[in-house]
Structures are given as C-alpha cells and as structure tokens.
Structure 1
Amino acid sequence: MNQLPKRHTDTVAVITGGAQGVGRAIATRLADEGCTKLLLTGRSVEKGAAAVADFKARGVMAHFVSLDLQDAQGCLNLIDHAVATFGTVTCLVNAAGCAARGSITDTTPEAFDEMFATNVRGPFFLMQGFVKHRLTQDGSGSIVNILSNCAHCGQSYLAPYSSSKGALATLTKNVANAHRFDRIHCNAILPGWMDTPGEDGTQRKYHGASDGWLEQAEATQPMRQLAKPDQLAGLAAYLLSEEAGIMTGALIDYDQNVPGSYPE
C-alpha cells in the first residue's frame, strides 16, 4: 500500500456513527493520515469500546460517547464535551443515521418524527455547536455530512428517509453559504448502495435477506461491488483536509449509477 499523506496531524475530529461502518472507516482513514484525537459516537457502548481500544493501540487519543441523535441537547453537549477533552474541535463528520423503511402511505407520524429527529435535527444541532465553537477560534474548520443518493428521489419504501436526506442536503448548502466568510467548509457525500454492517441488518430485517445476499447483489452492479466504506473514507479525508482548498457547499454523488440517466 502506498504511503498515505499525513495531512491530518492537527485534526481533532468528532465523528457520529464512528464505531462501525462509514463513520469507523473515516475515523480510521483520519488516523492513517496522522490524526491523534478522535471523539466517536454511537448507540452501542460495546462497539464503541472496541473501536476506542483499537485506536488507542495505535497511539490515538480516542474517546467514545453513547449518543442518540434524537437527543438535541445531547448533540449540543457533545461538542462541548469534545472541546473540554481536547481543547478544540476542527472537524465534524455526521455519519450516523436512521434508514428505517416507510412509504408515503404507511409511514406513521411517530416514524416520520423519529427519522427527521435522527437524520436532520441531530446533525443540525451538532453543526450548530461546531460552528459556534469554530467562531470562538476565529473561524476555519470542516464539516462532512454523509447523506445518500436517495436524496435525489429514492425508492417508494424510503419516502421519509429520502426526504430527510434531501433536507440535510439543503442544510449542508445553507451552512456552507452562511459561514463561507468564516472559512468553515461544509460539504456532503451522497453514497449509493453500500456494504456496511448496518446495511446487512437492514436487508435481513426489511427485505428477508439471508447469507449470500451481498454476493448476489454485487453481481448485478455495474462495477460488480457495492460501495465500500474504506473507499469512501478517502474522499471524506480529502474534504476534511486543507487540500480541499475553497471547496464548500458541494453535494458529491458517490455511486456507480448516475442520477438522471435512463436505460439505453
């Protein structure tokens, strides 16, 4: 493997969903590029403890905080906790989210509220806390939000999920625009179908999938694979680095299918 650039030696990152999947992959990539201060969140204390142990074995000062993104005050407190722990926070990654199913006809008000509280309100207040902190540091800093290609439309059984990701897309641009003169970057990645532990659980819970579903699914894809977290992590690390230059407000489709295309 080629030697990775050490462009994150000064990075202090808060990563939601950092104990597994995309969040864990981004945290690992940042550590590979020199980051030694990571605050990870998630719901599973067991998975969080395992992630922290792995990072500490590499010499990374990693901490885990159990957090339900529906807890707005908890989201605000998280940034304060990170600042108290590390002295500052320079990067925020909103990778956690809810992917429950629901169509326009069968989604309950409770399910809708849970989806938006998790996928929109939680990131909103995490970004609020992050931006407020960065303003006390004379600006600068980077946010990366992990959305979904479903923000463009999504399947019929993903009505509230797709809507929440569309809302976060607009919020990404709004934050980027509002704080561009503060040099606070806010960008988003919109991955397509991904191979993650969460997706495995979703396929089994909602779609009756059994062992071997991943291999069958990948055989049908243009590039013969689903998107992999460690591949996406390189893009996230770039967006969080100074190499991204002036880039802000970008919504980057990360998929092998092109939105708006049609069969030949």
Structure 2
Amino acid sequence: MSVERNAGTRAIITGGAQGIGFAVAQQLVAEGCEALVLVGRSPEKGALAVAALEKLGAEAIFVSADMSRPDECARAVEVGLERFGTINGLVNAAASSARGTLTDTTPELFDSLFATNVRGPFFMMQGVVRHLLAAKKPGAIVNVLSMSAHAGQSFLTAYSASKGALAVLTKNVANAYRGNRIRCNAVLPGWMDTPGEAVVQAKFHGAGPDWLEKAEAAQPMGQLVKPHQLAVLIAYMLSPQSGVMTGSLVDYDQNVAGVIGD
C-alpha cells in the first residue's frame, strides 16, 4: 500500500466524528490526506475528533449539521470549500439504523430514515458534484450502505429499504458522471462493532455490557466488522489507486449474501 496514495485528497466525511467516519478520517491521514471536513451532530465529539486528527498532522474542521436537511448539507459543502478551496472526496457514513418492521413502522420513522439515509447522501453528493463539474476536476465518492440492502432483517424493513435506495443512487451517480472522471462506489458492511451499535443493542434489544463478546463468539470469523478494517477499503476506493472503479457495491462481511445453510 502506498503511504501517500491519498496525498491529494481533500474530503468531506459525514458521521466523521465517530465510528466508521472517524476511522476513515484517521486512515486517510495515514495515507497523506491533509484536509478533512468532518460533519456530524455533536460539536463535542467533533472537537475531540478534530484535535485527534490535528495531532496526526492534518488540517481538519468540524461542521455541525443535520444530514436530513438539504440546506444543512449544502452548508456543509460550502464551509468545506471556503476553508480548503476545493473538495474532491466524499464519504457518506452518517446513517440512522432505527428499528421497525413493516407493520409497526410509523410514517414518521419511515420519513426520518429516508431523510437521513437517502436524502442526506443525495444532497451531499449534489453539492460536491456541482463543485467538481464547475471546477472540471475529478473526484471520488464512497457511500456506506449495509448488507441489509440485500434484504435485511424483519425489524429493519424501512432501514433496509433506505439502503437499497442508496445502492441504486450510487450506481446512477456513477453512470451519470463517469465521463467527468467522478467516481461513485459503495461498501456494504455486515454487523459492525461501533459505539453506535452498542447504543442500538441496549436500546432496542435490551443487550447487556457483554453483548459484543456474545455476538462475536457466534460469528464465523469470531469478530464483528471493525471500523479500522473497513476504513482501509474506503480509503482505497477514494484514492487514485482504485483507477476506473465506479458503480461498484462491495459486500464487506463474513456472511455471503444468498447462501442458505452450509
């Protein structure tokens, strides 16, 4: 791996102050990226994340924004451009995984999931692509989906539908702007070990503090997906080393979609 393969990357990362987003930010810095815009809801977490990245030698800023609001998506892109002059990378990692089956999902929950998981990435991509087209420069986008985009569990009906919509959006954008050298790909991680997942397990499933140990013991490879592992793949997909790769939806899991039994 080239240590400097992302030396020219100036990226916006939604959900960038924690979990997958922050792991990607750290990986990009390790690969030479010096300009990062982290977008999230918590200024406190954002300040800590920025401080950590600055210690690694990067210039980073945090933008507090609600990804379900198109105006705040546009503002996040504008702030990044004002600070760094250009943006050529985008990682849409922010998402809600609120639970709901077909029969108990309320219209409010459905709208909330689609607003965060589809509308947010849509308008973040719109802002970045408009800039790249105006500047006549290449760029790369990586959307973080989920293995649930293939079908999903019964208690993740609306969430799974939102990730399926983002999968189609990824391919549509990839096709539309390939002639402009703007690439758009996605990763579909399986069950992940993140602080957010710990909160979800406690809130929705009554899981105790030993939930991770039990969950990992039941997995084929003895672990859940780790953010730092997935971050290496995302950083590659953003970098020039990934060449002409676009429109790809990459499963990142130890369970293979479509397999029934052994």
- TM category, shorter: over 0.9
1:53 maps to 2:46: no
Q: Post-superposition shift, 1:59?
A: 2.0
CA RMSD of aligned residues (A): 0.9
Task: Name the CA distance, whole Å, in 1 between partners of 2:222 and 2:57.
Answer: 36
**Residue deviations 1:102-150, cap 9 Å, x none?**
0100001011000000000010000000100000121310000000000
Do the aligned partners of 1:103 and 1:157 also contact (CA within 8 Å) in 2? Answer: yes
| Residue matched to 1:188 | 186
Q: Deviations over 1:149-172 (max 9, x none)?
A: 000000000000000000000000
Taking the aligned partners of 1:14 and 1:194, their CA distance within structure 2 comes to: 22
Contact 1:4–1:32 under 8 Å retained in 2 = no
Task: Give 1:249's aligned residue.
Answer: 247
Scaled by the length of structure 2, the TM-score of the pair is: 0.99
From 194, 197, 205, the equivalent of 2:203 is: 205
What does residue 28 of structure 2 align with?
30
Please tell me whether residue 156 in structure 1 is matched to residue 163 in structure 2.
Answer: no
Count of aligned pairs: 262
Runs of 4+ deviating beyond 2 Å: none
Q: Structure 1 length as normaliser, TM-score?
A: 0.98
**After the TM superposition, which residues 57-136 of structure 1 pair with which residues of structure 2 at under 5 Å, given as runs?**
57-136=55-134
Question: What is the deviation of 1:8?
Answer: 1.1
Query: Could you say what secondary structure the match of 1:93 adopts?
Result: strand
Is 1:261 the counterpart of 2:259? The answer is yes
SS of 1:145's partner is strand
String of CA shifts for 1:166-207, please: whole Å, max 9, x gaps: 000000000000000001000000000000000000000000
Letter in 1 for 2:234: A
Structure 2 distance, partners of 1:91, 1:63, is 15
Q: What is the aligned partner in structure 2 of residue 5 from structure 1?
A: 3
Match of 1:215 in 2: 213
Structure 1 vs Structure 2: percent identity of aligned residues?
Answer: 58
**Equivalent residue runs for 1:232-243 within 5 Å:** 232-243=230-241
Letter in 2 for 1:54: A
**Cα distance in 2 between the residues matched to 1:21 and 1:177:** 29
